[in-house]
Amino acid sequence: MLQRLSSFSSPSLPNAAGGLSVFLVAAGMATPALAATPASALEQQQDDLAAFQVIAHRGASGHAPESTLAAFTLAHEQGADYLEMDAQLTADGKLVVFHDDTIERTSDGTGHINDYTLAELKALDVGTWFNQANPEKADDAFKGARLLTLDEVFEAFGHDARYYIEAKSPALNPGLEDALLAKLKEYDMIQAGRVLVQSFNQPSLLKLHEQSPALPLVQLLWYYPDEENAGQLKEWTDVTPGSGNVDDTDFQTIADYAVGIGTNFIYEGAPVISADFVDQAQDNDLRVHVYTVNDTDDMQTLLDWGVDGMFTNYPDRLLELAR
């Protein structure tokens, strides 16, 4: 009706914004000028987190070499809500996207990533290993893939994608928080609602929260049986007690600086969290994102539990189930 009214010409409807507004208000309709102020991009991001999120773990890394442009592009094309990645610093202070502390698993080099300059890391092949490990998925296009800087990822996808970035191993990457915040601000990722930052390191997250309260953070947790304590579940960095003993106070402590938790589901074939754990976290205003879920039966179990998102190497599988 509004479209028809806007194109209707009549002496009784002056061609002026004020006259049209009066007419529409009298008719019980809102004009753009009188409508509620739209949510900010950050508010929209928070609203979107209320829906289930498909988080592409190092890109579509079940189909292409992890943390490469090929993996991120495929995940984006498949419709993942977030591109997940790890940020580390090179020896010359450049932010690169790479998971391991050492480079030999996913490149033709050896040693610690922080010991190399960006130029040295750019000489590495980070794609051929995937073809060797997954001959059924091998693609000549993966050969010679180059390690990415965070700049290159942002320049490739801009604000068309959302990013779920782990501030990786702060003890091995001194100054990482400052460098990451500067880069996020340079590309206007925070106010544009395009980024979540995650870490296992609570002090690192607290530092980020202090410097940028608007930046949405996720506290990573990893539960495993403690052999020194009769197999009782333990959290790796002691951010919480074991998952069966977490109380509201523990979750509220996290909620003071984070919008959610990222937790493992399985350890050596056995679940380490429960539906009650998920419910309790959510009751304390925390989103629950579970990593790294590649089996469709596990995906369905967690969907039935009502988790808020999952990290997966196969976003296509999860999208098929969740959507």
Residue 160 has pLDDT above 80, yes or no: yes
Q: What is the per-residue pLDDT for 16? A: 37
Helix or strand or coil: residue 279? helix
Residue 85 has pLDDT above 70, yes or no: yes
Q: What is the per-residue pLDDT for 10? A: 33
Q: Which residue in 63, 76, 99, 289 is the catalytic one?
A: 99
Give me the mean pLDDT over the 143-149 stretch.
99
> Please, what is the average pLDDT of the chain?
91
Q: What is the per-residue pLDDT for 8? A: 29
Give me the mean pLDDT over the 68-83 stretch.
99
Q: Which residue in 57, 63, 76, 289 is the catalytic one?
A: 57
Residue spans per domain, the chain: 1-36, 41-322
Residue 3 has pLDDT above 50, yes or no: no
Q: Active-site residue 57, yes or no?
A: yes
CATH number for the domain whose boundaries are 41-322:
3.20.20.190
Which parts of the chain are beta strand (E)? 53-57, 82-89, 95-97, 148-149, 163-167, 195-199, 217-221, 223-226, 232-235, 260-264, 266-267, 270-271, 287-291, 309-312
- Percent composition of the chain: helix, strand, coil (DSSP 3-state, to 5): 40, 20, 40
Residue 293 has pLDDT above 60, yes or no: yes
Q: What is the per-residue pLDDT for 96? A: 99
- 225-271, pLDDT tens digit by residue? 999 999 999 999 999 999 999 999 999 999 999 999 999 999 999 99
The pTM assigned to this predicted structure is 0.88
Q: Active-site residue 76, yes or no?
A: no
Q: What is the per-residue pLDDT for 38? A: 54
The C-alpha atoms of residue 31 and residue 29 are separated, in whole angstroms, by 7
